[in-house]
Structure formats: structure tokens, C-alpha cells
Structure 1
Amino acid sequence: MTTPPRLSVPKNKLKFVLLEGIHPSAVDLIKRDGYSEVVTSPKALAGEALREVLADAHFLGIRSRTQLTAEVLRAAPKLTAVGAFCIGTNQIDLPAAMQLGIPVFNAPFSNTRSVAELVLAEIIMLMRGIPQKNALLHRNGWSKSAEGSFEVRGKTLGIVGYGHIGTQIGVLAEQLGMVVVFHDIESKLTLGNARQLASLDEVLTRSDVVTLHLPELPSTKGLMGRAQIQAMKPGAHLINASRGTVVDIDALTEALESGHLGGAAIDVFPVEPQGNDSAFESPLTRFDNVILTPHIGGSTLEAQANIGREVADKLIRYSNNGSTTSAVNFPEVALPEHTGSSRLLHIHRNVPGVMARVNERLSKAGVNIAAQYLSTREDVGYVVIDVDSGSPEVAMADLCSLPDTIRCRILY
């Protein structure tokens, strides 16, 4: 079923819903651009409460806890775009959103520095044996000794996943005098003196500290299992600030119990509490040489402010001019500023002949095309057409009546 055209709805009639305590920088940016209806909530919503708030929402902002299933998305007829104010998008049914003509934007860069700084601090803390010394003093003990305490200078850091965060950690670690090696499924341009090794096992056997920076994919689930952890150097340390499913927690527990690993720092878990008032349970809580943090790798005030601005800006640009650059589930179209001419936005099923029918309707309406931008992704196509004469309203009505139309909009 196609969506009727929205003929340049005034900004003050478009509703933004921002859940999960998204940073005020997002609200400020949205309102400064002229959007006055912004609804915020400090918590995630689910069930009927979520469907109710989305019933008339045009734009939605969430973090990691709000679950956008296909059913939820289908119950939001006006929803035009979704912003994930975080890196991960596993909480969103991305294929369903694409099929409904809803682009999803995220923030892949804004918390990079915050995560890198936390990991760097954990490397030093683990190598010095600080977690267990801290725990002992909290129990009124005292053990002034250099045993098991090492400088990081000259030690080898192994990075698994050499992306935005992995590269920054490598640069920072080199400033401390560490040797940096990494594994990635793709050949990467290295920064500084970092070296890409031929296999994951080679990184694991060489490294004094291994830090993981991987997305949550079927191929990364349980990547650090019993065999991989046993392949690590005796006394080495493991850090995971990526996704909770990457590490087999039972295998990690066994390696800590046996003393094979010297320690670990874990920020993400396979199952996490649903809120700050929920209890955290893990077999790792009994180890003094393990740093446990509540999924706060990117949770600094600076990172949250940057994320708020980055994702809000992407939603605004899509609303104002149709740009879908960096959408995670949608055909990407980079567009110039929308000024003067009318702009038609047409989302359609990517089937043979659809563009011929689009242009036929435009010609029939006497529309002169000033510029046309097209991109496709899997089963969905997205075409943006700037027109400088003719009857764009008639053309848009015709385009919306095409059987392969998913969604359409006109901007003036």
C-alpha cells in the first residue's frame, strides 16, 4: 500500500520523538532549524506505549534499548526516518524499515575517542595489576609488591577489528611505546607503525593485551571462544568494548579460573539489564582481576553531545532536502542544497522498468527535469528529481499511483 504524498508539510507540523534520554544537543539543533514539535522521554518505550507515541511521529530517535520490530514500524504510518543515537543498529529491523521506505541513520564516529580512551586506561590498569590491588584494599588488605606489575612500554597490543576505534587505540598505544598488531577481515591502510598480521591466531599468540572492536554479526558471534582464548599468551589480558556476543563468557571464566589469562576488562555482555534499576549477573563478578563496566565505553558527556548533533543533523538533512548519505539500510543519495526548484522524492521497489514509468509520468505532466539522482539497494530504489517547470503536484500524484511506489514526498 502506497503512502499519499506529503506536500511540503510545514516544519512546525512535523513531529520528532526522541527516546532514551538523548542529549539536549539534538533537541537544540532540531529546534534551531525550525522544528518546534519535539517530544522527549528519558526511558525506552515498548508495547502499546511505543506504538502510541509513534502513531503520529514523523521522525524517531532512539538509543540501544528501544526495539523497533517490523510490527512496530508498520504501526507508524507517518514515520519518515529513524535516528539511532549510537553506533549499533541491531535493535532495529533494518530490512523491514527499508521495505517501508524508512531510512535509518546512526553515529559511527562520534564516540570513537571516548571508547579509545577507556580501553587505553584499561590496558594500563590490567598490566599494572591495579584491579586486584584495588579490590584488596577495599577489603582492608595491603600488598605492596611489584609482582605481576608491568609497564606497557615495549609490550604488544593486539587489535581485533581495525576500524574507527581500533585505529585510534593503535595510535594512542604507540604513543606509550607499545607494539601494535592487528587482525581484520579486510586489508587496511595502517596508521603509525601498526602491522596487519595474516590471521587472528597470529595476533592472539603474539599479544600481551588483546582488545576487540567488532560489529555484531553472525560471523563474529562467539568469535573469541575456548580455542581462541587458549591460543592467547599465558598471562595475557582480554578487553571487549565492542559487542557482548563476541566473547564466550563461559570460556573466559574458565581461562580466568585456571590462571591462563592475567585479567580482563569487559564493557559489554551477551545479556544486559534492561535498566539502571535491574540487577546485573555474571560469572565474572567473582574475579578481582576483571574490570567490569556497564556498557559505558562511549558514555561521556562529550560523546553524547557529539552523537546528538551528528544524528540530528542527518535527520534534518533528510527532512529538508532528501539526502540519505550514510544511511545504514537505504540507497545513499548525496544531494546539493535544495533551493528554488521543486524536489520530488520517490521511493520504489527496485524492479525492471520502474524508472521508465517514472519519467513517463513526469513527461506527461509537462515537468522539465533540472536534475535527477538515483540510487538502489537490494529491492529498493530511491530517486530524487529537481524540476523547474510544469506541474510537480500532478506529477507527484501520478508517481504515487504507480504500483511499485513505496513512499513519495515533495519539497518546495
Structure 2
Amino acid sequence: MTLNPKYSLPKEKIKVLLLENIHQNAIDYFRNNGYTNVEYLKYSLNKDELKEKVKDVHLLGIRSRTNITSEVLTHAKKLIAIGCFSIGTNQVDLQTAKIKGIPVFNAPFSNTRSVAELVISECIFLIRKIPEKNFYAHNGKWLKDASNSFEVRGKNIGIIGYGHIGSQVSVLAEGLGMNVYYYDIMPKLTLGNAKACNSLEELLKISDIITLHVPETEKTKNMIAYEQLKLMKRGSYIINTSRGTVVNLNDLAKVLEEKHLGGAAIDVYPVEPASNNEPFVNVLQKFQNVILTPHIGGSTSEAQANIALEVSEKLVKYCDVGSTIGATNFVEISLQPNINNQRFLHIHKNHPGVLNKITKVFTSRNLNIAAQYLQTDPYIGYVIIDIDGKDDAKNILKELKLIPGTIKVRMLY
């Protein structure tokens, strides 16, 4: 694709910043597609460093440690899009990004298998009492004992949240001979012999192992607290690889002290260290029957490679042609390049009459609009206009920017 060097920013001048040791696949994808101005850092930045760094950045790639707050976004004057190289996007102020015309992309399914495999391995480790036996072996004690050590075959696993990861856990667990039960607030297609429960309470009462796979929302915050933990079977286990606010860890510690649960495995926390150099302190560290892992559910080579490709592809596609498919906070438009025309992008507040004003910018010049794409939500409108041939891009862009309610304007080619 040949970009107009005068009014459409050449790819080599589009600055890409990748933080937190994102997989090499992302760097390669950007460079292979003409984005050679890539800065790559293996660590996250603190708020002040980030505010300074994003001033000249057009495309920003982050993982889970970097928080893109509304304050950070006020400094990101040139930012076109954000890529979260992760499942979730809760580390970004999505609403502020939207009203500033910045779509946020992620990879919601790329690490599904990795998380599911970790959950299954933790099921086996917990029910076989491996954490305690490992601890004692490291301290010189030979604890060869079969009491309270079981096979997972024939046990009940309860899955809270039967989405992409939860359903994958369901398939793997059934393959091991487990009885699969699940609870989800939305009706879901049941896989294999899994059985849906009518309530969370029903699921908690019948399960030998509970595993959580829900997003972070107001409804899921502390959804598993003391009351819910006490509903679980005595000697049962809980695994959380979803979000750190879903399980109240202080309540979990209390239930473990009471010997009501047999153990737990936790991979996510309400507050996590910003880097590997910071100390990790948690109320569960004193328990020998608890597996604590540093948010590694999706941290496999395969998952990170897939995430890198998926998110970088979405960012490049948006930057190249304007497609917003896969954006979590933005209206979605799918389209192909059409370099025989000029293509203009206009993001604006969703006010009546804006589209009419945009159209008049072109019709007043007797330009033929070859194609027009529009999507709106309650806050913003996103319109893409292709015009036949080539025309005075400089003045067209100037007029589009003057339309009341305009947030961002770009010419792609």
C-alpha cells in the first residue's frame, strides 16, 4: 500500500511502543508490514515514566502490569490504538480511551488451552496433596502416605463461568473421568456430559473442586467470600486463574485456618507486583496446602506467540485500513483496503447531524463517495469514507477537523 507522504503518515514514522517483554512475533509482524519504528522494552513503566513515554507514541502494546489510566491518556496526544497482549483489558480505562477515539484490542482466546491445562494440573496436585508432600521433602521429611490422597477420576469438578476457558477445562476434565458441573449467568451450549447447575450455591455444595473462569466486573467482585466458601464440601478445593478480585483472599485464609477446605491454587491477586524485582506478599503464603503462582495461567511459549500475532495483526489492520473488528471498547467495522480511492476516517461524538456535515465536505467539492461505512454507539460515531480518485486532502482534513464533535480524523491513503 502506498501512503501519501504529505498527508498520510508514512509507516516508518508511526511509532510503536511494546512493553513488558511481548513475544518477538509482535516485533516481527510490525516490521514485516512496514512498521520499522518499534521500541521494545522488557519491563513495565511507572505512571510518570509512562506519561512521558506515550507523548509521541502512535501504537501502544502492553500486557497486564501496565495501567493505562485516564491521566495517562491525557498525555497520549498521538495515540491511535492500544493493544493488550492478554485476555483481559481491565488494565485500561476503556471508556476514556473510547471518548478519545482510541480503540483497544486484545486476544481473548489465544491462551485458552494454556490456562485450562494449568487448572487440570492443579486439580491433580491438590487432590494428591502434592504441595504439602513437596514442602516436607524439601525440608528433609519423607511423607509417603496415601491417606487423603485421591484420584481425580470420579470426582466432581464445578466450573464457574462456562466460556472459552471454562468449557475447555470441561472437556479436559471429562477426559480424565471427572464429573463436570458448571454454573454461568448466561445459557451456554453444554459440551460432552457436563451438567448445568441452576445456582452458584448448588454448584458449590456438590463439587469436590471449584475452578473460576469469570471476568472482572462489579458483579464478580468478591463473588467467592466467606459465606460461599463455607458452602463448599469439607475437604474440597478451590482454584482461581480468572481475576484477582473474584475471590476474597482474607476469607479464604480464614476458611483454610478452620480446616474447612483441603487446599487452594491461586494464580491471580487483587494487587500484583509491577515487576519480577518487586517483593510479593500475600496472606496465603503461610499455608502449605496452597499453590501460589505468579499470574502465569497464559504464560506458555505457545500462548504468548499466538497472542503476539493476534493483537499485532489487529493493530496493523486498524492502522492500515481502519478495520476495528476485535476492539473491546469501540464500534466494529470490517472492511478491505481500496487504494484506488482516498480513504478518510472520522471519529466523533454521537451527536445528530454530524454525518450530514461530514458528507457535505465531499459533496460540496463534487466528489463521488465510492463507499461509506458508519457505526455508532451511545457515545461515539465512527465513519469511513472512500472517494473516487484523488483530491485536495489537506483542505479536506482541515474541514473535517472543524466539524463540531470531531474527536479524531485520519487519511489512510
Distance 2:313 2:294 in 1: 28
Query: In structure 1, what is the equivalent of residue 200 of structure 2?
Result: 200
Which amino acid letter does the alignment assign opposite residue 8 of structure 2? Answer: S
Aligned to 1:367: 367
Q: Deviations over 1:74-128 (max 9, x none)?
A: 2121110011111222221111111111111111111111111100100111111
State the partner residue of 1:378.
378
Structure 1 residue 256: Cα displacement: 1.0
How far residue 405 of structure 1 moved from its aligned partner, in angstroms, is: 0.8
Task: Say yes or no: does 1:408 pair with 2:409.
Answer: yes
Name the SS of the counterpart of 2:245 in structure 1: helix
1:64: which partner in 2?
Answer: 64
**Once the two structures are superposed, what CA deviation does each residue of 1:111-162 show, in whole Å capped at 9, x if it has no partner?**
1111111001001111111111111111111222211111111111110011
Aligned equivalent of 2:14: 14
Q: CA deviation at 1:167?
A: 0.9
The answer to whether residue 217 in structure 2 is matched with residue 232 in structure 1 is no
Q: Which residue of structure 2 aligns with residue 276 of structure 1? A: 276
What is the distance in 1 between the residues matched to 2:218 and 2:278? 28
- The 2-side partners of 1:41 and 1:91 are apart by 18
| Structure 1 residues 234 and 338: alpha-carbon distance in aligned structure 2, compared to 1, 3 A threshold | farther
* C-alpha contact 1:368 1:390 (8 A) present in aligned 2: no
Q: Is 2:212 the partner of 1:212? A: yes
Shift of 1:398: 2.0
1:190-239 CA deviation, whole Å, 9 max, x = no partner? Answer: 22221221111111111110000111111111000111001111111000
Match of 1:126 in 2: 126
TM alignment of 1:91-170, pairs within 5 A: 91-170=91-170
* Segments ≥4 residues shifted beyond 4 Å: none
C-alpha separation between the residues in 2 aligned to 1:367 and 1:161? 52
* Secondary structure of the corresponding residue to residue 283 of structure 1: coil
| Structure-2 residue corresponding to 1:399 | 400
Provide the rounded CA distance (Å) in 1 between the counterparts of 2:191 and 2:363. Answer: 52
Structure 1 CA distance for aligned equivalents of residues 212 and 303 of structure 2? 20
Question: How many pairs does the alignment contain?
Answer: 407
* Correspondence for 1:187: 187
What is the one-letter code of the residue matched to 2:118? L
Deviation (angstroms), 1:274:
2.1
TM-score, normalised to structure 1's length?
Answer: 0.96
Corresponding residue SS for 1:286: coil
In structure 2, what is the equivalent of residue 42 of structure 1? 42
Hey, what's the Cα distance between the residues in 2 that align with 1:128 and 1:392? 72
* Structure 1 vs Structure 2 CA RMSD: 1.4
TM-superposed deviation, 1:392: 6.0
Quick check: 383-392 or 255-264, which moved more? 383-392
Pairwise CA distance, 1:254: 1.4
Amino acid at match of 1:343: R
CA distance in 2 between counterparts of 1:8 and 1:50 reads: 26
Instruction: Report the Cα distance in structure 2 between the residues aligned to 1:150 and 1:265, rounded to whole angstroms.
Output: 17
CA contact (8 A) 2:235 2:261 kept: yes
- For structure 2, the 5+ residue unaligned runs are 1-5
Worse-matched range after superposition: 195-204 or 316-325: 195-204
Give the Å deviation of 1:179.
1.1
- 8 Å Cα contact 1:244-1:268 kept in structure 2: yes
**Residue deviations 1:260-318, cap 9 Å, x none?**
11111001111222221222212211111111101111111111111111111111000
Q: Secondary structure at the match of 2:56?
A: coil
Retained in 1: the 8 A contact 2:105–2:326? yes
Partner-residue secondary structure (3-state), 1:158: strand
Question: Is this contact kept in 1: 2:106–2:328, CA < 8 A?
Answer: yes
| Higher relative contact order, structure no. (Cα contacts within 8 Å, ≥ 6 residues apart) | 1
Q: Which amino acid letter does the alignment assign opposite residue 272 of structure 1?
A: E
Q: Does the 8 Å contact 1:69/1:93 carry over to 2?
A: yes
Further displaced range: 21-30 or 392-401: 392-401
Per the TM alignment, residue 396 of structure 1 is displaced from its structure 2 partner at its CA by 3.4
Which amino acid in the other structure matches residue 180 of structure 1? V
Identity, in percent, stands at 53
C-alpha contact 2:111 2:307 (8 A) present in aligned 1: yes
CA deviation digits over 1:361-393, x for unaligned, max 9?
221122212221111122111011122147362
Alignment deviations for residues 153-186 of structure 1 (CA, whole Å, 9 cap, x no partner): 1111110011111111111111101111111111
Query: 2-side partners of 1:273 and 1:12: how far apart?
Result: 35
